[in-house]
Amino acid sequence: MATKKLDLIPLYDWGMFTEPRPSVVAGPCSAESEEQVMETARGLKSFGINVFRAGIWKPRTHPGCFEGVGTEGLRWLQKVKKELGLKISTEVASEKHVFECLKFGVDLVWLGARTTANPFLVQEIADALKDTDIPVLVKNPVNPDLDLWIGALERLNRAGIKKLGVIHRGFSTFEKINYRNDPQWQVAIELRSRYPELPFFVDPSHMGGSKDYLEEISQRSLDLGFEGLMIESHCNPSCALSDAKQQLTPEELQDLLENKIKVRDADSDAPEWKENIDQLRAKIDIIDENILYALGSRMKISRQIGEYKKNNNIAILQASRWDAVLAKVIEKGNEYGLSEKFLKDVFNAIHEASVEAQK
Ligand code: PEP
Ligand code: MN
């Protein structure tokens, strides 16, 4: 489907985020008590965080887990706003949540990954938000379906929401991986290239699922040029009622943001840097041309083989031949420092295209 334009207000005109990057939304996974909310917010404010998050209604995998404090928690958020002057934000998953948030002066809402995956709910929320100018961030759906993600953005934009952005938090997988959710950065990169003006946040807490991965994910997000981070922070993480493993104390978050991650320049005008990078890029361009020439030549021969097989009444696919080719490629490729996964990805794609060309 052709990409429809979104009518957007730039992030730095929302009245809550300012340059330089990253714009940060921080706060506990869940609001648990007035004391926990206030203490965490005070800690975050002390080093300049000004958009506070806290889950009020929590979508949980299993029944019987802590499912959020509900509307009462909005009073605590209201107190954060009134007494500390922070902007407040929470997740909405229904029309009722939206109305409650509007009533309590919530400044920003986001749609969770499970909600984005459900167009009925997205539409219900979009209808409830109609004619408000509250900023909305849309997390990626749990499954890596870019159209579903874009569809949610379109529904909200059609309802008049122009302060609209996204949060990348990775995708569910059946396979066991180190992270809680699989980043599949290519999906985020594709979305960015289709909508370069769409404000982009990354949620390293839910992507990593452990505080051990927050630094590498946050750095990756900055290196990819994304504007913001949503990170969970709790005044006493080990006692958190949800997501205890992935939350940082405000002090730890300050250390991560101020000392660990680095915002790299997008470009530089220094003459020496320019000369070197231009030379290296010229080399890459030549190698790319060679790769294209080699791929084209390979495909030509592949087609000849296809004809030859047809004339001799031989099936297109000989699995054992391909296994042998792949094994050889992996062995040789390893000598060039290429990983098995990379080689498999590239050569399986080449093989697929060859088989297609022989049909
Ligand atoms: C959250 O941000 O609290 C949350 C539940 O995240 P997700 O929708 O990414 O699972
Ligand atoms: Mn959480």
Burial code (b: 16+ CB inside 10 Å, e: under 16) for 294-331 equals eeeeeeeebeeebeeeeeeeeeeeeeeeeeeebeebbe
pLDDT at 29: 98
Long-range contacts of 94-97 (CB under 8 A, 24+ apart): 94/121, 94/124, 94/125, 95/124, 95/125, 95/127, 95/128, 97/56, 97/57, 97/125
Q: Which CATH superfamily is domain 11-260 in?
A: Aldolase class I (3.20.20.70)
Q: Does domain 271-357 have CATH number 3.40.1280.30?
A: no
User: How does residue 315 score in pLDDT terms, banded at 50, 70 and 90?
Assistant: confident
Distance CA 111, CA 242 (A): 18
Sorted by where each begins, the domain ranges of the chain are 11-260, 271-357
Residue 266: pLDDT over 80: no
pLDDT for res 265: 82
Rounded CA separation 38/31 (Å): 10
* Residue of 91, 202, 245 with the most ligand 1 atoms within 8 Å of its CB, for mutation: 91
Give 59's pLDDT tier (boundaries 50, 70, 90): confident
pLDDT at 172 over 80: yes
Instruction: Report whether residue 139 contacts ligand 1, using a CB cutoff of 6 Å.
Output: yes
pLDDT of residue 3: 67
CB-ligand 1 contact for 112 (6 Å cutoff): yes
Q: Would you say the CB of residue 113 lies under 6 angstroms from ligand 1?
A: yes
Please tell me the least confidently modeled range out of 123-132, 228-237, 268-277: 268-277
Determine if ligand 1 sits within 6 Å of the CB of residue 169: yes
Q: Strand locations in the chain, DSSP E?
A: 23-27, 51-53, 87-92, 108-111, 136-139, 164-168, 200-202, 228-232
Residue 308 has pLDDT above 60, yes or no: yes
Positive/negative CA dihedral, 22, 23, 27, 29: negative
Mutate to test the pocket of ligand 1, among 140, 169, 234, 245 (most ligand atoms within 8 A of CB): 169
Is the pLDDT at 1 greater than 60, yes or no? no
Q: Residue 273: is its pLDDT beyond 80?
A: yes
What the block records as the tokens of 39 is 């203490």
C-alpha 291 – ligand 1 centre gap (Å)? 42
Please return the burial class of 44, using the count of CB atoms within 10 Å of its CB with bins 0-12, 13-18 and 19+: buried
Ligand having the closest approach to the CA of 243: 2
pLDDT above 70 coverage of the chain, percent: 99
Protein residue with its CA nearest to atom 6 in ligand 1: 112
With 0.85 as the threshold, say if the pTM is over it: no
Query: Over the chain, what is the mean pLDDT?
Result: 95
pLDDT band at 160 (very low <50, low <70, confident <90, very high): very high
Q: Which band of pLDDT confidence, cut at 50, 70 and 90, is reported for residue 170? A: very high
Ligand 1 midpoint to CA 29 (Å): 8
pLDDT reported for residue 318: 81
29 C-beta closer than 6 A to ligand 1? yes
Residue with the larger pLDDT of the pair 71 and 358: 71
Given a cut of 70, is residue 297 above it in pLDDT?
yes
- Output the pLDDT for position 283: 87
Find the mean pLDDT for residues 67-96: 98
Dihedral sign from CA coordinates of 268, 269, 271, 275: positive
pLDDT at 335 > cutoff 90? yes
Tokens 């007494």 locate to 83
The reported pLDDT for the residue numbered 103 is: 98
3-class secondary structure, 182 = strand
In the reported structure, the alpha carbon of residue 55 is separated from the centroid of ligand 1 by a whole-number distance in angstroms of 8
pLDDT (mean) for 131-154: 97
Q: For residue 209, which ligand has an atom nearest its CA?
A: 2
Q: What's the chain's Rg over C-alpha atoms?
A: 24
Mean pLDDT of 334-349: 94
244: CA distance to ligand 2 center in Å? 8
Distance of CA 301 to the CA centre of its chain: 41
- Please give the distance, rounded to the nearest whole angstrom, from the Cα atom of residue 245 to the centre of ligand 2: 10
Per-residue pLDDT tens digits for 29-57: 999 999 999 999 999 999 999 999 999 99
Start-to-end CA distance of the chain, whole Å, equals: 27
Is 55's C-beta closer than 6 angstroms to any atom of ligand 1? yes
For ligand 1, whether the C-beta of 53 sits within 6 Å is no
Q: Are 58 and 83 in contact (CB under 8 A)?
A: no
Instruction: Name which residue sits closest to atom 10 of ligand 1, judged by CA.
Output: 113
Which tens digits make up the pLDDT trace of 184-217?
Answer: 999 999 999 999 999 999 999 999 999 999 999 9
Q: Ligand 1 within 6 A of 91 CB?
A: yes
Which tokens is 282 given? 């010229």
| Mean pLDDT value across residues 82-94 | 98
Looking at mean pLDDT, say which of 66-75, 264-273, 299-308, 314-323 comes out highest. Answer: 66-75
pLDDT > 90? residue 105: yes
